């Protein structure tokens, strides 16, 4: 767990920098899968561990659902990255992330 704010800031700064680098190289308008592959490569070039499509379970009425959600990307086992290839984020996008992290 990253308890030190400086460590959190360094990691998130590097993730954001990687995303900006990918966007600069690829430009807008591609599918999420292209950005995901390139962001994964960029983060690994920067020596980060990247997990993709991590299943998240859910308990519904005492029944464990093993795969209720998918985390798009988990960086260094600490930061969830939810990838979107949209013109503008909608409130539902934020709600999806809060549901996963909830």
pLDDT of residue 39: 97
CA atoms of 84 and 93, how far apart (whole Å):
8
Are 11 and 2 in contact by the 8 Å Cβ rule? The answer is yes
**Taking all residues of the chain, what is their mean pLDDT, rounded to a whole number?**
87
The tokens 């959600």 sit on which residue? 69
Angle between helical axes of 5-26 and 32-45 (0-180°, round to 10): 130
List, for residues 26-52, the tens digit of each pLDDT value: 998 899 899 999 999 999 999 999 999
The total domain count for the chain is 1
Mean pLDDT value across residues 11-20? 96
pTM score: 0.79
The set of residues, in sequence order, having a beta carbon less than 8 Å from that of 66 and lying 6+ positions away, is 55, 57
Q: What domain range includes position 15?
A: 5-101
Are 39 and 11 in contact by the 8 Å Cβ rule? The answer is no
- 20-24, 27-31, 77-81, 89-93: least confident range: 89-93
């Amino acid at each position: 767990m990253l308890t030190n704010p400086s460590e959190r800031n360094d990691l998130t700064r590097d993730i954001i920098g990687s995303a900006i680098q990918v966007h600069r190289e690829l430009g807008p308008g591609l599918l999420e899968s292209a950005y995901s592959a390139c962001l994964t490569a960029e983060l690994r070039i920067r020596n980060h561990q990247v997990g993709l499509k991590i299943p998240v379970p859910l308990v519904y009425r005492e029944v464990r659902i093993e795969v209720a959600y998918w985390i798009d990307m988990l960086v260094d086992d600490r930061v969830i990255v939810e990838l979107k290839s949209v013109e503008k984020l909608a409130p539902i996008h934020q709600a999806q992330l809060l549901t996963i992290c909830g």
